[in-house]
Amino acid sequence: MITVKLALMQANSSVLDIERNCAAIDRAAQRAAEAGAAVLLTPELFPVGYAPLRIRAELDPETLPGIRRTLAGIAAARRIALVYSLPAVTADGQWQITATVLDGRGDELLSYAKVHLFGPEERRAFSPAEAAPAVVDVGGIKTSLAICYDVEFPETVRAAAAAGAHLLLVPTALAHGFESVPQLLLRARALESQLTVAYANHSGEEDGCTFLGGSVIAGPDGGLLAAAGPHPELLYAEVSAEAARQARDAVPYLRERRPDVYRAWEEARRAEEDGGAATPS
């Protein structure tokens, strides 16, 4: 059975202090590699800090390739696969929130852009993406990405699982007051789609926002493999594809889905709504 030691970084970022934030990632990568971890997951927008309107107004997009090179250098120097989140600007000028998986040589394996934006500041600063989560092999485990609010929608996680993912890596920026997300919802997502979900959050205060911390790694049975408190720390857990396969064999949710029936339900509901709207009073 192939197992991978996953490290999850929970830390406080400094908005637009890119050098400081990348140095924090480098230290975490070194510690994680020395502890035998093969993968390090970091929080949403950590290299630039989480402050959507400031990022959009003050960050020069010309600096983004250099930040990506720095992060690739960290992965290569520490010989650890690295998951990071940064803004990206599309060919037509739209800003998106993205996440990237690098291998231990610093080569890009997978990228993903956030589909569900949370709150007015994100919606003013960024545009939502539409591409489904893709899957790539990381250390012998089929792995996918989502970002923060995405994981609160069962459709996102189910799409990753249906594409073959056994591990879902989620950079996040969750504020204090939403404790039910890591404590309940993440475990439900892992259980219902029968894959491991790792959720890496900020901690402390950034640009007036107090972050929850509370990062978690939840297994395919919904059990907690690791959980953080409110302060900076590195979490570790051993993850495997076999755990997901065993859960899917025990209760075959994925095999026994009926997507054609679900689509028919939705079409019927829309037809009923349209008919009702057209009915004269």
Domains and CATH numbers, the chain: 3-254 (3.60.110.10)
Q: Is 191 left (phi over 0), alpha (psi -120 to 50) or beta?
A: alpha
The Cα 77–Cα 104 span in angstroms is 8
Average pLDDT over residues 274-281: 64
Average pLDDT over residues 135-150: 98
Burial class (CB in 10 A: 0-12, 13-18, 19+), 116: middle
pLDDT, residue 275, reads: 86
Q: Encode pLDDT of 48-104 as tens digits.
A: 999 999 999 999 999 999 999 999 999 999 999 999 999 999 999 999 999 999 999
| 7 beta partners | 40, 236
DSSP states of 118-181: -HHHHHHH-----PPPPEEEETTEEEEE--GGGGGSHHHHHHHHHTT-SEEEEE--PBTT-THI
The Cα 193–Cα 166 span in angstroms is 9
Name residues whose C-beta falls within 8 Å of residue 228's C-beta, 6 or more positions apart in sequence.
8, 10, 201, 203, 213, 214, 215, 216, 235
Give the tokens for residue 81. Answer: 């696969």
- pLDDT higher than threshold 80 for residue 277: no
pLDDT, residue 278, reads: 52
Q: Encode pLDDT of 171-193 as tens digits.
A: 999 999 999 999 999 999 999 99
| Percent of the chain surpassing pLDDT 90 | 97
172 within 8 A of 209, measured Cβ to Cβ: no
Average pLDDT over residues 37-52: 98
Average pLDDT for the chain: 96
Confidence of residue 281 (pLDDT cuts 50, 70, 90): very low
pLDDT, residue 1, reads: 86
Sheet containing strand 39-41, edge to edge, reads 108-113, 95-102, 81-89, 39-41, 3-10, 233-240
- pLDDT higher than threshold 60 for residue 243: yes
